Chain A
Amino acid sequence: MRLINQVPARGARLLLAALPFALLLAVYMTASTLRLAENADDKLLPSIGQMAQAVQRMAFTEDPRSGDLLWWKDTGASLQRLGLGLGISALAGLTLGVAAGAIPLFAAPLSPLLRLLAMIPPLAILPLLFIVFGLGELAKVMLIVIGVAPCIARDLEGHARQIPQEMLIKAQTLGANTWTLILRVILPQLLPRLLISLQLMLGSAWLFLIAAEAIASTDGLGYRIFLVRRYLAMDVILPYVAWITLLAWLMDFGLRRASTRLFPWFMVGAR
């Protein structure tokens, strides 16, 4: 049977999914054991036990200097920035996207502007943001907004344009004015797309967050990683990276679940 026609059964699929993870883990643990056997003070590849100790120290022991549980403080600070940044981006992106996608008079000035804004590499204007908004929270949130909002706006603009003309005409024959047409026909059809768009932008948002925290911050997951890098504290960095990955995955999962829950019609149409 040709390779292209061989489909794994459910059990086999789960096994195959777990395989690369198990392999990676095995390779790491072997390498770590070998290095530690040679030099017990090696910091590059800490053992699982050392990492567990670091997590215990960071997450469940108060920091002697500040009295904070650093792990949770960092997580809270980062999630707040990310949440604010993504929330503002979603709102701005939706507003601009609907305006540019549904109303030709607004599209004329907005479309070219959005296309250009989406092209600016956000990290290139990070220094500018620090100068304009200071080194506080605002600059970090703004970096996420500037990086994410134009992309969401362009995506939603495109999808608003794809709503068939027939539907917009039909709504007008049913008595809709411009506002109620947007409210009852265009907006509800774009909301599921907004969730997908956010899902796709999650990776970029994390990137901008960690970059901003690495450069100017006093807490946050990105700040901590870049701080302990000076001491080559891989036992802290690796758990932090795993934790960030888990958080990102949970957000992705949450958005996916939300769209099937909130917009059952969207999934019916997709299948």
Chain B
Amino acid sequence: MTAFLAVEHVWQEYADHVVLENLSLQVNEGEFCALVGASGCGKSTFLRLLLGQERASRGRILLDGQPLPSEPDVSRGVVFQKYSVFPHLSVRDNVVLGLELAGSPLTGRRFGAARRAAREQADAMLDAVGLSHAGARYPAALSGGMQQRLAIAQALVMKPRVLLLDEPFGALDPGIRKDMHALLLDLWKQTGLTVFMVTHDLSEGFTLGTRLLVFDKPRHDPQHPNAYGARITYDLALNQGRMAARQALPVSLIQRLESVPLEVIA
């Protein structure tokens, strides 16, 4: 049996800048992969490849044995750190939008019974993320955490097979981030979809993921810092004993990763 998602010898290079170097990976349906690593280590590039926003320079990515479509489509949902929701639509219409777009290539709108059905579906989704009270508001009137809830609802209502999260909680307060973790885990368990989440926060990766992928540059040439790309240096299953898994990482690596957010702020 082939894997749900297979990454085969993928390279990503821009001019003389190698970002990803010979990446190979197999992911089963329903896994929650947390992607961690220092800044500029290609985690987000890898996510863009999965999204179809970029094409790999070499190698290929297969979804269910088929090459991944080379532009974004409904099979892969996404939540970015910001700008994920549409400012000109109310909260409810933000969720309805996908249901309308998918069924209507000409007007991008549904009418009559189809529209009512879409609204009901959207309301149920808003209920699931705890936003049913805010349906009529515009995103600009929502807090950062509520906006990310909306972005998640918007992506999940399309029932994608893969959900891609690019540091979705990076801009949120720690307390709110915890609520969002609980919500995300809940939704993931209910839907059983496959999740890839890029995060700067190592503990977030350990808390949420069933699998932790560490991106790092194993080789470094001080004269040509861009000559070598990043690889997945650790691939840990987190199903049993999360803390035990954590001990599998060298202390120096953990220190380097955990110091990352500080570097970013500074």
Contacts and interface: CB of A to CB of B under 8 A. Distances in A.
The SS class assigned to the B binding surface is loop
Given A180-B105, A268-B138, A167 B88 contact: no
Contacts of A263: 88
The SS class assigned to the A binding surface is helix
B251 to A, nearest CB: 36
Interface in A164-183: 164, 166-167, 169-177, 179-180, 183
A182 B232 CA distance: 38
B5 interface: no
Interface stretch (A60-68, A184-192, A225-233): A184-192
Interface stretch (B6-14, B67-75, B209-217, B238-246): B67-75
Contact of A175 (B73, B82, B84, B86): B73
Contacts of B154: 170, 174
Interface string A144-174: 0000000000000000000010110111111
B182 interface: no
A181 to B, nearest CB: 8
B30 interface: no
B144 interface: no
Interface residues of A, number: 25
Interface in A257-271: 263-266, 268-269
B140 interface: yes
A179 B83 contact: no
Contacts of A269: 87, 138, 140
A180 B78 contact: no
6 contacts: A169-B53, A170-B154, A172-B72, A173-B72, A174-B102, A184-B108
Interface of B: 51, 53, 71-74, 76-78, 80, 82-90, 97-98, 100-109, 138, 140-141, 151, 154-155, 158, 160
